[in-house]
Amino acid sequence: MDFSSIYSFFALPMDEQLYRFLVYFGWIPIAWVILYGAKELWLDYIQGKWVAQQKYILLAIDIQRGNEQSIKAVENLFTYFGGAHKTINLIEKYWDGMFQLGFSFEIVSIEGYTQFLIHTPEVFRNLVETAIYSQYPDAEITEVDDYTEGIPTKYPDDEYDIWGGEFIYSDNQAYPIKTYKEFEDSSAARPEHQFKDPMASLMDLCSSLGPGEQVWYQLIVIPTDFKWTKELNKEVSKILNEKEQDINGPFSKIFGEIKGLVDEFTQQISNWSMGSLEQIEQVDDALKMMNLKPQDKKRVEAIQNKISKIGFQTKSRMIYVAKKENMNKPKVVNGFVGYIKQFTDLDLNGLMPDVKKTATNAAYFFKESRVNYKKIKIMAAYKKRSDFLGRLTKIFNIEELATLWHFPIESVVKAPLIQKASGRKSEPPMGLPFSEGAVDEVTSYAEDEDIFGSADLKENGNHKKEGNGKIADKSSDLDEIFTIKEDINEKYPVKKIKTAQAEPKSSPPANLPFA
C-alpha cells in the first residue's frame, strides 16, 4: 500500500494540516447539524398541523359519597389507560406529523372548592369513561370548560400573581418513590384507621384556600412501550457490578465479542501467573444478592417491582395563583411541598421542586425579569398540558401514579368541599305512570301524635262504636267523621316535610362552569 500521501500530509506545517482537515472533513459535522435542524423544524411544523386537528375535552369526575374503594382501583384505572398507546410508523411520524397523545390528570381547588379532572383527547373519551365506570360504577362524569381561562398568561400582572414549577425525581428514574402501600399502619386498632391516606394533607390544604386563591395540580401521562425496562435493568446491573453490554450500536456485538476475547485472554494470563484459579475469589451469581448491602438489596428489589408494572412517561406541575392582596405563598407553597415530601424514601427516590429550571424563583442577577420569564413559561406549559415544555418526562409506573392522583377514601379524608356524586342513579320501572307535576312534599303529623289513635279521636269517636266494638260503617256517619278530622287538624297542626332526595351539587366557581 502507498502511504506517501499520509506521510506528506503529516510533513506539512500544523496550520496547513488543520486547514486541509477542515476542508476535507470539517463539512461533515456542519452538514449533520444542518440536517438535524431541518428535521426538527419539519417535525415541529407537521406535528403542529396535526395536533391542531385534535380536539381535547376536560372531564370532571365526581365519585359517590362514602367512597371506600382502595387505591388499587385507581391503579387498575391507569392500567386501562395504557390501551391508548399506538405504534407510529415512519410515514405517520415524518409525513403526517402523528405522535402519541396523552392525558392530564388534574386536581384543582378554587377558593376551597376541590375538583378532580381529566383532560383527554376527545377520541379517548369512551376509554376514560369506561375506565372510571369500571372501578366507580356510581361516578358522575361531566364535561366542563377549562378553568385556566381568564387567568393571565403574561407577567407581571396588575391583579394576579403566581408561583409554579415542576416536581422532579431526586434520583435516577429507575428508583420508585414511596407508594401508597407503605402508608398502611397495621398497629392501628380500627381497620379504617390502618391506612393513612397521603391525599388527606392535600385535601386539607385545598379546603383552606380563601377568596381569590387557586391551586392547580397536574400530572401529564403519556402511554409508552416497554423499552424503558431496559434502562432500569441497566441500573440493576450497575448495582450488581455486572458488565453492561450495549446492544444498540451497529457494531456493538462485534466489539463486544472482541472485548470479551481480550478480557478472557488477560484473565487467563493473570490466573497462570498467580498459580491457580482457586487463588482468585469468585462470587457465584446466586450469592450476589446475599452479599449486597441492605440498601442495595432494597434498591434492586424496588427496581424489579417497578419494572413489573406498566409505566408511563410522566411529568408533574403545580401552580398557585391568587390575587395579589390575597396571596399567601408560605401557607400554600410550603404546604404543597410538604405533601410531595410524603413520597420520599431516602434509600430510593422522592420528588422535589425543580428550583434550577422551572420553579418561579431566581437568585443573583436580574432576579425580577428571570422570575417573570419563568412565570410565563410555566403558565403556558400548564395551559397547553405540554409534555415537552420544561423538563423531560420520566417513567412512573401505575403504582406511583395511583399514589400521586387518586380519589380520597372518605373514612380517612374528611375535607368538606370535595365535589362528590350525590348517589346512585337508576331508571324508574317501565310501568310507572308519570303525572305532569311531581309531588315533592307529603303531609305528616308529629311523631308523638297518632291521628288514628289520638285522645280526641277516641273521645269523639266512641259514640260511633257499636256494642261489638267495631266502628259503624253507615254512610250517614261519614260526614261526622270528616268533621271530627277537621277539628283534629285545627288542634294538631300538620308538619310539612320533604321527601328524601339526592343532595344537590354545590355550584362550581365562575371559572369552572359546566359546558
Q: Is the dihedral of CA 15, 19, 22, 24 positive or negative?
A: negative
Closest CA to 62 of 118, 124, 130, 104: 118
More confident residue, 271 or 171: 171
First CA to last CA distance, the chain:
79
Q: Please check the confidence at residue 501 and state whether its pLDDT lies above 90.
A: no
Q: Please check the confidence at residue 473 and state whether its pLDDT lies above 50.
A: no
Residue 393, pLDDT score: 95
- Dist. CA 242–CA 236, nearest whole Å: 8
Over residues 21-77, the pLDDT tens digits come to: 888 888 888 899 999 999 999 999 999 999 999 999 999 999 887 777 889 999 999
Question: Strand locations in 17-155, DSSP E?
Answer: 56-62, 103-110, 113-121, 140-144
341-362 core/surface letters (b: 16 or more CB in 10 A; e: else): ebbebeebbbbbbbeeebbbeb
Single-letter residue type at 215? V
**Burial group, residue 165, by CB count within 10 angstroms (0-12, 13-18, 19+):** buried
Residue 18, pLDDT score: 83
Q: Please check the confidence at residue 210 and state whether its pLDDT lies above 60.
A: yes
Reported as half-sphere exposure (CB side, CA atoms, 13 A), residue 494 has a value of 12
Beta-strand relationship, 56-62 and 113-121: antiparallel
CA 283 to the chain's CA centroid: 43
Over residues 230-266, the pLDDT tens digits come to: 999 999 999 988 765 554 555 555 656 666 666 665 6
Closest CA to 235 of 311, 304, 313, 287: 304
Q: What is the pTM of this model?
A: 0.72
Strand partners, 119: 58, 104
Residue 257, pLDDT score: 63
What proportion of the chain, given as a percentage, has pLDDT over 70?
Answer: 69
- Dist. CA 236–CA 231, nearest whole Å: 9
Q: Which residue has the cell 385556566?
A: 148
Over residues 410-423, the pLDDT tens digits come to: 766 665 555 555 44
Q: Please check the confidence at residue 426 and state whether its pLDDT lies above 50.
A: no
